[in-house]
Structure 1
Amino acid sequence: MRKFRFHAVASVLLTAALALAGCSGGGGETASPSGDAGKSPSGGQGGGEQQVTLSMHSWRVEDTEGYKKLIAAFEAKNPNIKIEFKPFKATEYNTILSTALQSDSGPDLLQLRPYAPGISLATAGYLEPLDNVPGIQNFPKNVTAASTGKDGKVYGMPLSLSTTQFYYNKKIFEENGLKEPKSWDELIATAKALKEKGIVPISFGAKEGWLLSLSNGVIAPASFGDGYVEKLLKGESDLKSPEYLKSVQRMQELIPYFPENYVGLDQNDMRTLFATEKAAMYINGSFELEGIRKLNPNLQLDFFPMPTDDGKQVITTWVDGSYAVNAKSKHKQEALKFLEFMATKEFAETFAKQFHSISAMPGVKTDDPLVDKMAELSQSSSVPYLMVIHFAQGNPTTKQVLENSLQGMYLGKLTPEQVVEEVQKSAATWFEPFKK
């Protein structure tokens, strides 16, 4: 019944039934996988083995060239296995993947959304458990928790950690005698000073809902204080609390420092505005670092963590995706072999350096000072991305309700009080601590 209910809900949520040409789990020459499913993939490199082509799907179109290099390193050691990397637009990926899996035409390898969305695919029986894949033990339990099913099995090989923060243009700050703000009042004062000079203080857009929950994920912890998240998870507080309401009020307080027509700006618009030095600050994730630099390699870039009301600084952190194996893949053993490669330090170091990202594997360093700074803060001053880690369930999810409600606030249709009322109402339908 659990699986049936998932199919029913997923079908309602799909905006269209998309047929995926060339997305078959077989994806190439026919070859029978060797060994038992779920056990350590071994297999040799002998020329007598038939060639297998694995399909690999992702939501990271911008990572295409980088993945080619990583895949080439694997194929050099495994000449009988070829991998076709096919990314989709991030906003369309969930629907495309769900449609494909329901019709048994999903890819062999799939990038898994972290926490509830990915775990729901495991619950529905779409994914192969990875507990026996060599190297999975290289990741801490709090990292593999992002793709651990209700049965206690791990279904995703972790890729990286993500952080969110305020990026800023060092040149603009220095030219205007500004320093990194150490409190909310200093942040507002900095934004005011920039606006008075005719500079857009914060590159921001409200067109895409996920950017709003992400921005709230950065701003909210500043008003939480010690122990708030624990109280929330125990049901001793809720999302209408003064602490959470304050985070939404602060998002409203920033409106005068956004670009004109910000409600119509999307991720690309925001990135371009900041990278072309037309805005001084930019709220976004560590995954944006490479994209910013591609647009402007000469940008004098830095970031600051969110200053809190009690004089500290925090950086919002979460496990940002993993790779899973389709339980119905015709080439399961070969797919598991690729995930075994992903669990090596060689892959972790190459991935981190290639994409300027924080590795999910502890102890991996890069040659990028900003990435290493993010990694260090994620160990010393991190707070959880509340909506992704704890409130990404419900129908629609509480995260989506927050996003829609914040869009309503920016359109002048909802007050901050109404936003948190809607968010709490959503969470109360499924979050057990709120049902006490």
Structure 2
Amino acid sequence: MRRYRSRAFVSAMLTAMLVLAGCSGGTNSSPAGDGQSGGQTGNPGSSAGGGAEQVTLSMHSWRVEDAEGYKKIIQAFEAENPGIKIDFKPFKATEYNTILNTALQSDSGPDILQLRPYAPGISLAEAGHLEPLDQLPGIENFSKDVLAASTGKDGKVYGVPLSLNSTQIYYNKKLFEQNGLSEPKSWDELINTAKTLKDKGVVPFAFGAKEGWLLSLSHGVIAPGTYNGNAFIGKILNGEADFTSPEFVKSIQRMQELVPYFPENFVGLDLNDTRTMFFTEKAAMFINGSFELEGLQKMNPDLPLDFFPMPTDDGKTVLTTWVDGSYAVNAKSKHKAEALKFLEFMASKKFGELFANEFKRISAIPGVTTSDPLVNKMAELSASSSTPYLMVVHFAEGNPTTKQTLENALQGMYLNKLTPEQVSQEVQKSAASWFPAFKK
């Protein structure tokens, strides 16, 4: 009986070893170093190569709302690259930075990651977490200004730009028409429009102060109207003006001037609250980015939606723009070649067209248009009358960043703890601690 059991044990062990040998034989790729999602390998022979093992790449983003759309885009890539699977995993935007940084520092980050634009993303490159993309096919088609959002201080490109964002004031055409209103052409007309709506029992602005980034974004729309777009920005960048200058203080005062036209208890409202208020037609206007368009249209396909750029004090209009997040490759990815293959796809016009039409956004890839008239209107205004989102493009550095300082100070103002002048002083104090032009 003992011999029988011994022979049975040896036989079972030999069988298991043969099975393991068969499973591992003929592979030419190693497991991904993700440690969180993806990275698993499939069955041998599943790729177009015949004997190669299928690779699954982990891809992280802060856009939870884009999950369904990316399924279609990823399917298009996988159809042409059957040996590669993409595991798209988005995280809540406010938690993404912490989750990503922790993963990268512990060498368990994703193969492909969505990169915050400008300073935050570039800091990851400086820390050695990102693979340079200067030789990536298609990267040469992007303009230098667009690539600036993901170009390191060493001059190397680390991300494939995704889209060109704009911020504007969305409005409900039906509510405007019912109350005899048209798009305002000046600040005074905007205030009169808000007053008329409030007097008619309509909430003028769907607005919340709970999330700081919404405040800097809203300020990014309002402020260029006070300093007439780009001229003042040039003075700031050259150190000829600063954030205590009258033009900037006036922009903070206007943020305070809008308070009577915000919803009740607006300091406790977040994006979901205000978005819902607007698409359910309980508010007439909504200050937000181009990235909200697709969601608004899905939530209420019958929403009579339009937008207007910010009127400036010199009688013109301006649209605030910036390059949105790009996609990068983890320098420590175990599947770097496959990850670069996907980024090559993201730099193609095919991806640009899929992205623009699926998400109703302006692709960063030149020559891409969409079937949506509002997206095309945003693109046209971005080309003709744009100004950079100052806090994202130029002042997202510092500890805390000057952008975060503005957000915190605006929240303090809305809690009646700071005056507009004090907000401006806090912003200048932050910028002066690191911005070269203020150190002269």
* TM-score, scaled relative to structure 2: 0.90
Q: Deviations over 1:263-295 (max 9, x none)?
A: 000000000000000000000000001111122
**Could you tell me whether the CA contact under 8 Å between 1:167 and 1:301 is conserved in 2?**
yes
SS of 1:162's equivalent?
strand
For residue 325 of structure 2, what is the amino acid of its counterpart? G
What is the correspondence of 1:274-285 to structure 2 with a 5 Å cutoff?
274-285=278-289
Partner secondary structure for residue 288 of structure 2: strand
Q: CA deviation at 1:21?
A: 8.6
The CA deviation at 1:47 is: 2.5
Q: What is the TM-score normalised by the length of structure 1?
A: 0.91
Aligned to 2:25: none
Question: Does the 8 A contact of 2:356 with 2:370 survive in 1?
Answer: yes
In the alignment, what sits opposite 1:251? 255
Contact kept, 8 Å, 1:47 with 1:80, in 2: the verdict is no
Which residue does the alignment assign to 1:75? 78
Where do 5+ consecutive residues of structure 1 fail to align? 1-19, 32-43
Where 1:378 maps in the other structure, the secondary structure is helix
Does 1:87 pair with 2:120?
A: no
1:330 aligns with 2:334: yes
2:16 equivalent in structure 1: none
SS of 1:117 mapped into structure 2: helix
Question: For residues 358-397 of structure 1, what are the structure 2 equivalents within 5 Å?
Answer: 358-397=362-401
What stretches of structure 2 of length at least 5 have no aligned partner? Answer: 1-32
Superposition RMSD on alpha carbons, in Å? 1.4
Identity over aligned pairs, percent = 76
Contact map agreement 1:168 1:280 (CA 8 A) in 2:
yes
Q: Give the structure, 1 or 2, with the largest relative contact order (CA under 8 Å, sep 6 or more).
A: 1
Aligned partners of 1:45 and 1:77 also within 8 Å: no
The structural deviation recorded for 1:53 is 0.5
Aligned counterparts of 1:421 and 1:335: Cα–Cα separation in 2: 45
Alignment equivalent of 1:28, drawn from 33, 40, 57: 40
Query: Which residue number corresponds to residue 163 of structure 1?
Result: 166
Partner of 2:179: 176
Confirm or deny that 1:356 pairs with 2:368.
no
Between structure 1 and structure 2, the one with the greater Rg is 2
Q: How many corresponding residue pairs?
A: 404
8 Å contact from structure 2 (residues 146, 323) kept in 1: yes
Corresponding position: 1:110 with 2:123 = no
Match for 2:101: what amino acid?
S
Q: Note the alpha carbon deviations across 1:218-242, whole angstroms, 9 max, x for none.
A: 0000011351111100001001110
Task: Identify the residue that residue 41 of structure 1 maps to in structure 2.
Answer: none
Candidates 100, 105, 115, aligned match of 2:103: 100
SS in 2 for 1:227: helix
Q: Which runs of at least 4 in structure 1 moved beyond 4 Å after TM superposition?
A: none
Alpha-carbon separation, structure 1, partners of 2:165 and 2:363:
9
AA paired with 1:421?
A: Q
Q: State the Cα distance separating 1:22 from its structure 2 match.
A: 4.4
Mapped to 1, the partners of 2:339 and 2:93 lie a distance apart of 23
